[in-house]
Amino acid sequence: MRIIVCGMGVVGQSFLRLLISNSNLLYKNYGIKPRVVACIDSKGIAYSQTGLDLERVLRVKEKYGEVSKYSETIFKADNHIENIDAEVLLELTPTNLTTAEPGLSHVISGLRTKKNVITVNKGPLALSFSSLVELSEYNNVMLRFSGTVGGGTPVLDFAKHCLKGDRITSFTGILNGTTNYILTKMADGLLFREALQDAKEKGYAEANPSLDIDGDDAAAKLVIMANWIMGYKVTLKDVDKTGITDIDQEEIVKAAMDRKSLKLIANCDKENLFVRPIPISKDDPICVNGTLNAVTFQSEHSGAQTIIGKGAGGMETASSVLRDLIEIKENFTNYQLN
């Protein structure tokens, strides 16, 4: 199985480490012999059609900050993704919820050249979900994205596979670990700015945390879930969104007095999509603290089912990429993916 890794940040590097440590297990249990033929970052590319030395790629990235120093030989092609022979493209670049670029172009290039695509990038799916799914089906390849929601926690797989045969009628939950951490610290007595600074110092929030605290990240995940699980055709503009920047201690204290906790809740019910801070009962299964995520699915026959887990982390998200890779192999048993 020849693989292109596009995006060599935390998730990309974590994925390479997973391959290094699990190569024997992947072959023994799933018959997969992954061969990474290209690693692409914002500055260039490391390429070998016979397969890259992954440990060397990681050393080069750490030492020089770019993978192109892997070899003196330069891969000469205008579009790396289209011109490299591979069965699978991993699109692991940072999320852009304004234009979805460059991730959107990467995904389209991969699908158009009949590559199976795995992405953890929420931008392309939040803005162009339906067209990308249609493109993958037209080219008879798979588009998988379990890491876009819940990190390593299999939220999408749980809804799609574990509740197979049942009809999910609605879902609600906490989809952003950063805001959940901030609200947890505010419940402990910190002001918003203090809780945000604490989240930054611990690595839970970016230097520019607007995607999290304004509710955009949760809204993007909500859109992906609504489209994939419920069969809707919605985008970010269909989400009624309010972030947590205006929350003060008075609201936190009032919720606590009612035995409730203020949480940033994402909800999908009959195409009514919203993200907003809501006081919920401390006995509610989704009332989790810290960086945890939690989602409750309401189904026609099984009732309420809740899944809880870590919502982020390089290795956790990389594990979701590996899970998608295994699914692609299992769905193409007659296809030359070895």
292: buried, middle or exposed (CB in 10 Å: 19+, 13-18, 0-12)? middle
* Cα–Cα dist 16/315, whole Å: 10
Residue 164 annotated as catalytic:
no
56 phi, psi to nearest 5 deg:
-70, -40
Going 195 to 198 to 204 to 210, the CA torsion angle's sign is positive
By DSSP bridging, strand 143-144 and strand 116-119 are parallel
Q: Minimal CA–CA distance to 95: which of 106, 83, 81, 111? A: 106
Q: Are 312 and 177 in contact (CB under 8 A)?
A: yes
Contact between residue 119 and residue 145 where contact means Cβ atoms under 8 Å apart: yes
Three-state DSSP class for 166? Answer: coil
- Tokens (6 digits) for 126: 């939040």
Which of 185, 221, 263, 329 does the annotation list as catalytic? 221
Q: How many CA atoms, within 13 angstroms, populate the side-chain half-sphere of residue 150?
A: 23
Residues serving a catalytic function are 221
